[in-house]
Amino acid sequence: MDPYSELMLIRASRRRRAWVAVLVAAMLAAGCGLGGSAGPHKRQSPYAGPLDAAVVHAPAGAMRGLVAADYRLFQGIPYAAPPVGALRWQPPQPAARWSGMLDATKPGPQCVQEARPGKTSENCLTLNVWAPMSGPSGKRPVMVWIHGGGFINGASDIYNARWLAAKGHIVVVTINYRLGALGFLAHPALDQSDALGNYGLADQQAALRWVRDNIGAFGGDPAKVTIAGESAGGMAVCDHLVAPGSAGLFRAAIIQSAPCQAQADLAAAQRASVKYAASMGCSDPATARQCLLDLAPTDLARPPWYSHIGDSDALTSPVTGTPTLPMSPVAAFAAGKAAKVPVLIGVNHDEFTMFAALRYLKRNHGVTAAEYAGVLTDIFGADGRAVMARYPPDRYGGDVSLAYAAAVTDGVFACVADRMAVALSRNAPVYAYEFDDPNAPAPDNLRRAPFPVGASHSLELRYLFKVGGAPPLDLAQRALSDQMIAYWSQFVTSGEPKVAKAPDWPALRGDHAPWMSLRPDGSRVMTTFEESHQCPFWATLKGRS
């Protein structure tokens, strides 16, 4: 998800808007990862510098990429056949082995999304490979990064992974996957494969298989693959931990700021899909499939909404209760049915302040005292009054917006992550963190809000990736960035975030276990995460224990 756009966040004219799809559009607007057009299916590389061509011979075919002093980059590599024509709403098919030399010096097209009208393509199943130029000999461990964006926007080329490759000595793969209606529509008329409602998730599995078969040519070790993602990307990681088709494709997982409880169930997704098809003029069940297939990709840029946080905010998501995803991840974790692999999981200290700030910018005012009970009921239903009593504005300097943001941070992100971490730790090592830089650089628009956004949703990404849209890191933040890159890279390398000359990061051990607090004034282990986010209170609420 993206910290940077209002596009998909706030309700407009009572239309549902996605509360998790905020990061990408602002980064796109800031121009990160983007350049001028180089034809309908390629864009100019955004990575400046004295780059020379390099050639790799992989089982998929030969390709020419870019070489800099400390990394190599190969972009726009097709990992599956174009999902167009008869392959729309079908499981991804293997990409044909190309002849000759593939030009891998430019990123491929972004998948169809409302945030980039007219500038995307249905032919978008490509990935990028970042590989270090120097470091330890032998095959390098691999991190496959799944982008966020509420499953409705985002792209692989937003994430410049040179720091992880050059400093962490790991290979990083960033992937595109089908989004919105093209990736997750669950209309009954399309039920001709096990991938119904999960085409985008199946794309990710296809990318993981491509990595298994080809990453050795880039110096990567196919036996040492870690899947990682933030927000919607983190939700996808949760899915892969329990999806049968993902078994054996990775050996560790990283989950960042992921509300994995927000997955859609099949019945709800089908109802929303039928309603969506009708809005597109495809209401007759007998002809709905062909009607949908006849629509232009641009007609399908507007996504369906599945999972709802109250009456106003919603997102598209993978669909549970299906062959691809039989159980919801949170339920599967609790039942001990997740892959038994090391997991690094965490949240940001102030996850929801970004959304509160965008609400303020949209309406020209924050949440008022008169609105407070209503917005909490909107999100937490019958528990809204109890949440309001637990999060009085007086505790937050009288600022209703900050009280609202704290309640949703704790109830939707922090305490969900805590429950998942504890459940997963019963069967495999789990390392939990909280990113807590109160002055994390934020996009210009968020800094116009009358309250600080702090360590808000997605702001940790610029400590791992070179992304735009906000002021640069200062010296202390740069040191924290280096530390985080070392922790993440070492976890990818060994399954443990053990770094010399950095605070020891212990694994979780039962309830009230240690969490690593990542701070620019010195990272430290803490044992008060549950209390500081009031998780015992949230465990008492109906349906949240």
Among 351, 434, 460, 530, the active-site one is 351
Sequence-separated (6 or more) residues with CB below 8 Å from residue 305: 16, 18, 272, 314, 315, 316
Residue 120: C-alpha distances to residues 114, 178, 446, 545 (Å): 9, 11, 27, 42
Q: Is 512 a catalytic residue?
A: no
Catalytic residue (one of 169, 457, 489, 530): 457
Instruction: List all residues 6 or more positions away from 443 whose beta carbon is below 8 Å from its beta carbon.
Output: 3, 4, 26, 30, 469, 470
The type of residue at 428 is A
* Helices 353-363/400-408 angle, 10° precision: 140
Round to whole Å and give the CA distance between 316 and 276: 12
Distance of alpha carbon 46 from alpha carbon 36, whole angstroms = 9
How many other CB atoms are found less than 10 A from the CB of residue 290? Answer: 11
CA-wise closest residue to 153 among 241, 292, 28? 28
Helical segments of 248-300, H only: 266-279, 288-294
If DSSP codes are grouped into helix, strand and coil, which group holds residue 220?
A: strand
Q: Which of 231, 401, 425, 481 is catalytic?
A: 231
Report how far apart, in Å, the C-alpha atoms of 253 and of each of 145, 154, 238, 461, 492 are: 10, 21, 9, 17, 8
Which residues sit opposite 265 in a β-bridge?
A: 320
The letter for the amino acid at 244 is: P
Tokens at residue 301, please? Answer: 């840029």
User: How remote is the C-alpha of 428 from its chain's centroid?
Assistant: 23
- What is the CA 391 to chain-centroid distance, rounded? 28
Phi, psi of 18 (to 5 degrees): -85, 125
- The type of residue at 129 is V
For the question of residue 457 being annotated catalytic, the response is yes
Residue 271's SS3 state is: helix
Q: Rounded distance, CA 380 to CA 394, Å? A: 21
Per the rule left: phi > 0, alpha: psi between -120 and 50, beta: everything else, 541 is: beta
Residues identified as active-site: 231, 351, 457
